[in-house]
Amino acid sequence: MADGFAQLDAFLVRELEKLSPARRRRISRKIGMELRKANAKRIAANIQPDGSAMQPRKKRNLKAGKDGIKKGRMFRKLRLSRSFKINATPSGVSVGFEGAVAHTARAHQYGLTDFVGHTENGKTVRTKYPERVLLGFTPEDLDLIAEIVFDMLGE
């Protein structure tokens, strides 16, 4: 069976090399957009790539008022496309966070200690976040990538 996958991999490499760099970049961009959509949906549901639930956030007294903050929601702004960037090239694609949100995402992805704020008396507050895997591949994502590549090769 492994030999069959090696032959398939060699075939795909040959077919992709035949395409122009612009066409390969288009395929990469399409894959990146679909991966971003799938990861954002999973993050919204607080599910990790392995299918397990993310550790819930600490209980806080949040009031849904003029700020429109809803209780218990995590990573509301992290899922937005302005924070969740795609970098597509002819040789590949990367999907991840950029800017200030990347710092927050990194702290949660790897379970790091990060700055929270200052107390009223000026003390700096840091906390260790539990590891919550935000980005990753599920088996469905891999099937989706294969489907996109085969569809776009057939065009």
Q: Whole-prediction pTM value?
A: 0.78
Per the model's pLDDT, the better-predicted residue between 28 and 62 turns out to be: 28
Confidence of residue 7 (pLDDT cuts 50, 70, 90): confident
What pLDDT, on a 0 to 100 scale, did the predictor assign at position 81?
Answer: 82
What pLDDT, on a 0 to 100 scale, did the predictor assign at position 51?
Answer: 92
Confidence of residue 36 (pLDDT cuts 50, 70, 90): very high
What pLDDT, on a 0 to 100 scale, did the predictor assign at position 63?
Answer: 56
What pLDDT, on a 0 to 100 scale, did the predictor assign at position 95?
Answer: 93
40's CB contacts (< 8 A; 6+ apart) are: 79, 84
Distance CA(130)–CA(133), nearest Å, equals: 10
Please write the tens of the pLDDT for every residue from 42-91. Answer: 998 999 999 999 988 877 655 555 555 555 568 888 888 888 899 999 98
Give mean pLDDT, residues 92-110: 90
- Indicate the pairing of strand 124-128 with strand 92-97: unpaired
Per the model's pLDDT, the better-predicted residue between 130 and 80 turns out to be: 130
Give mean pLDDT, residues 119-133: 88
What pLDDT, on a 0 to 100 scale, did the predictor assign at position 137?
Answer: 87
CA-closest candidate to residue 30, choices 97, 85, 86: 86
Distance CA(32)–CA(120), nearest Å, equals: 43
Q: Count other Cβ atoms within 10 Å, centred on residue 79.
A: 19
